[in-house]
Every structure is written in structure tokens, then in C-alpha cells.
Structure 1
Amino acid sequence: MGSAASSLTGSYVRALLPKRRAGAWVQAGMERTDVAVAPAALTRYRRLCGFAPDGPVPATYPHLTAFPLAMALMTRRDFPFPVLGLVHLANEIEQLEPLDEDRRLGYRVWIEKPREHPRGAAFDVLAEAHDAGERRILWRATSTYLRRAKPSAASRRPHATSASSSSASRPADTPPPPPGAEPWYLPADLGRAYAAVSGDRNPIHLYPGTARLFGYPHPIAHGMWTAARCLAALAAADLPDRFRLRVEFHAPVPLPSTVLFHAAQTTDIRDFSLSSADTGRRHLHGDLAPL
């Protein structure tokens, strides 16, 4: 699970090339074998996402190895959608047992057939990590993406263009932040910092100028950084050895901004959310449950 920067660079170059007209869907997959944790990269990842400096490998960390494989599949000429402009809707991770730093893993990533969605077409990228020796699955993940269809005039919302703004005033009907919500300040360079660790240099995360090319007035935080930061906050109260983490992304997190993290325990499930400290707009919500 080393740095994926070099393998992602070629994928983002291919993402700029026009796609050919989509034909019949062909399901494809990719694999990597015998992948070791890079200690320096893991240390930087833990620090940036708020994890403790030791203990099991964070359950969000294997995504750094799986994502370049997914990008290689999505930038193939026969993949029906352009990568730039896809919306990350949700992510689900299952940790089937704690991951040790010295364990070598094999990875398999594939993409399911797209399905209709009210806003276009959605598809799932599935990933598995297994013990390199025993081939026992230790980790699974599903990332759900949306390819937006062009909205009709009737479906356009007047506030849509300002959805990413962090300077809008709080609407009168927005409920106050829940008691105990924890404020997090996210600096302007957070996207560049996470890109340096993960290799994910999507232009929407880097600079105001590159983000505006894709319709965002500000760069936005990586969805997987926000998921990891929430998991790190939950991990402060200890985690079960086997668990499922589910996150749904509702609105981009502009950089810089201040967000509010809130978590609550319901039976054995931990619910959590992240919202804007300025507007109250919910950025994400999710839950963590033992398996």
C-alpha cells in the first residue's frame, strides 16, 4: 500500500482525452499482488487524517491502493463515461479483521454495470484486499459514482450554482448545530496535502483556478479525506475489530472552511455527520456498525 502518485498521473492524463462513443458494456477488472505498506506514506496519511500514530492500519487506507486500479479502468477507451465530472455519491468499507502494517495484500478491483439514477446514471466500483499468502479477504469496499445527465429547465434549482460556497449566510430555517458538535477548520491547501499523500490530483481539489474549470468556485476537499477524518474521530473511542463504515456525500466541502463533526451512539451503531459551520448545510452523513 505504497504511494500511488505515479500510477494516477497517467490516468489523469488519459482522463483529458475524449471518449469514443459508448458501445456494449464490458465488465473488466484489475489486480495487484503482494502489496506492502509504505511506512512513510502511512505515517503522513495518519497525521493528515487525524489517526493515532500507531495501531492497526486505518480501514480507509487501502483505498489508496485500490483507487489507482479503479482510475485505470475508468479511463479505458471503452469505459462509457468521462472521469472528470463524475460525482462521488457514497462509500462503504468492510474491515473483516484488523490490518497489520507488515501484512502484504493482494487487491482486486472491478466495476459493475451502470444503472439508472434520478440524476443520470450511477455505477459501483468494487474492491477487495486479501492476504497475499492465504488469499483470505480482509477488506472490501464499494464506491458509488454518478454520471450526471443534463438537467431539464424545470429541474434546475436556483441555488445550485452556490452549493459549494462557504460564505453564504445561514438560512433562517436551518436548525442549530447539535450539542457537542466538534468544529474542524480545513485549510485552503488541504486538497493539495491529501493529493501529495494519495496521488489523487483531480483538479477540483487543488486550486481555485483549476476548480473553477469544473464549476466549483473553490477547491473542494476529497471525499475520502472527509470519510477518513470522520473515521479517525470515531476511532478515538476505540473500534471493533470487524466493522462496516458507510458514508453518503451530500454536498462538496469548500476549502478553506470550518465544518462541524457530530457523532451519536444508537445501540451498537455510531451515526455521524459533517456540516458547514457557516450555513448548516450537511456535507455527509454515515454510520459505523460492528460485523
Structure 2
Amino acid sequence: MQWQTLDSTPSLLPLYWRAALKRKITGSTLPEHGLRCRVSVNPRAIAAYRKVCGFADSPMLPATYPHILAFGLQMQLLTDKAFPFPLLGLIHLSNRIRIHRPLGGVGDLSVGVYAHDLRPHAKGATFEIVTVVEDALGLLWEAESQMLCRGVKLDGEAVDNTLQVPGPTIELTRWKAPADIGRRYARVSGDYNPIHLSAPTAKLFGFPQAIAHGLWNKARTLAALGEHLPVANIEIEVEFKKPVRLPGEVVLMSSAAGSSGELELNGTGDIQHMLGKWRPIA
């Protein structure tokens, strides 16, 4: 792995232009370099993120917040000329985070991103975007997001890695996903994908109405689980199923059981939006 170190987090506007202009698959191998830079944690930005995602005030960073710190680097990686797939149209299948140590007293961090694990899928090909966050003591937090690019032809057999349906769960809580949550989450995350912003922009990409960001669904869920989850030595994995159409209402089902447990996010008519589990890091 070759690391390219940037002086600062990339500016998003030029990267959105780059994403809009690239519509074709240009290859079938992933670049062998990653991007990294130093970032400073901004308390006002964290407060705005907490409000949109439902996290209570705490000396700890929200478990999903490092995604926000890494977003510019991810955008730069995915819109680079060397990256073979167009960013618009990628489908977020799953996300796993590992919190190695408590996310308290966090200031200056090193954030790195790279892509790996390209493999065939029944509908194209999948790959993982890996994010690593380090502080002065070493690895603090890491994540893998599995993405699907339709229409890619790769040799080999597609492997089904879907999560199993959770065991017995009970309703923990429910909440409404308001019509403007995609725009509100975009303002705190930088993720202005048109499918999340409004019905007219979502229709351009084949959706009848706007859908909630997958990582907002995960963040809102972890905010609701709050006290049930350990603050460190935890791996939290979710698989995104049917999108949450906006506006909508969802029900969080969970086994809510300390160091390990399972969760399910459902919509009306038993639509399954997200499946997940958490456990100690192996």
C-alpha cells in the first residue's frame, strides 16, 4: 500500500464536478494507493452532527462521526482518474466500524482511506472503502464500507456474504425520517448525493422519492441504542436492505444486550431497511 499524504482535507465542490462528469466504467482494477491527512476535530461541527443524528451530548465522539472526517478523502479517492468506476450510481451495501479505544478527548487525528477487495457480484462487482483513524497512541477507529458497481464484468464466482436475520428482537423505539433529513444530513456530512436531497433530484436516478442516507440510518440507530452499547472494543456491522423513503417512519428492533447484540430497522408493512449486529473486536 502506497500512501499519498495531503496537506489538508480536499475541497468538495471540484470533486462533485468530477463525479458528475464521469459516467462510464473505465477499468476493472482498483488503484494501489491510499490517501491520508491530518484533521482537527471541530466541536461546532460535532454538535451539528449530533443534532441531525439524534446523539445525546457526551464527552465521546459519536461512534459514526469519523466517517464525516474521512468523507473528503473518500470523495477524492473515488473521483480520481485512476479509479475505474463512476461515483454516481455506486450502491452502499454494508458498513462495519470498529472502535478500538474510547473516542473521548479527541483532537488532532490522522485519517487514511483506500479501496480494496474487488470481487464479482451477481449484479456487477463489489469493493470496500477502508477508513483508518489514528491518534498519538495508534489505531483508534476503522471502518469498511462495501460498495456495489453494477455492470462490471469480473472473472470468478460471486459469493453471498449477506448477514443472517437476527434472532429474537423486541421493539426498542421508533422515529420519523422527515422529508428534509437528506438535506440536513448533507449539510453536516458533505454528502450531497442527489438521491437523498429531494424527489425531483432522486427521480433523475430512478427513485420515486428521496431516500435517507444509509449512514444516517446507522447513526440514528446507534444514537437510539446509546447506553446499550460499549464505548470501545466494539465492532458494529450493518447491512443496508430496502431504502428508507422520505418522509417515512421506522421501527428499531433490538436484542439490546450489552457487549453483543443484534438489531433490525423496519418500515411499514414489515419492509426491512437494515440488519445489524455488534460484538467485541475479535
TM-score, normalised to structure 1's length? 0.83
The answer to whether the 8 A contact 1:244-1:289 is kept is yes
| The one of 145, 148, 166 aligned to 1:146 | 148
Which position in structure 2 is the counterpart of 1:219?
A: 210
The answer to whether the 8 A contact 2:228-2:258 is kept is no
Q: Deviations over 1:126-184 (max 9, x none)?
A: 110101x34x010110010001239xxxxxxxxxxxxxxxxxxxxxxxxxxx6535221
Q: Deviations over 1:200-231 (max 9, x none)?
A: 10101001100000011111101111111111
Which position in structure 2 is the counterpart of 1:115?
A: 119
The answer to whether the 8 A contact 2:234-2:279 is kept is yes
Which position in structure 2 is the counterpart of 1:159?
A: none
Q: Residue 259 in 1 paired to residue 261 in 2?
A: no
Deviation, structure 1 residue 268: 3.9
Which position in structure 2 is the counterpart of 1:165?
A: none
| The one of 237, 246, 250 aligned to 2:237 | 246
Which position in structure 1 is the counterpart of 2:277?
A: 287
Q: Residue 64 in 1 paired to residue 68 in 2?
A: yes
Q: Deviations over 1:244-265 (max 9, x none)?
A: 1101001111100011111114
Q: CA RMSD in A?
A: 2.2
Deviation, structure 1 residue 40: 0.7
| The one of 70, 80, 90 aligned to 1:86 | 90
The aligned length equals: 258
- CA 202–6 in structure 1, closer or farther in 2 if over 3 Å, else same: farther
Which position in structure 1 is the counterpart of 2:157?
A: none
Distance in 2 of aligned mates of 1:94 and 1:284: 18
Which position in structure 1 is the counterpart of 2:35?
A: 30
Which position in structure 1 is the counterpart of 2:133?
A: 129
Deviation, structure 1 residue 5: 10
The answer to whether the 8 A contact 1:247-1:284 is kept is yes
Q: What letter matches 2:15 in structure 1?
A: S
Deviation, structure 1 residue 55: 2.5
Distance in 2 of aligned mates of 1:194 and 1:232: 15
Which position in structure 2 is the counterpart of 1:166?
A: none
The answer to whether the 8 A contact 1:5-1:200 is kept is no
Spell out the pairing of 1:197-236 with structure 2 (5 A cutoff): 197-236=188-227
Distance in 2 of aligned mates of 1:113 and 1:272: 26
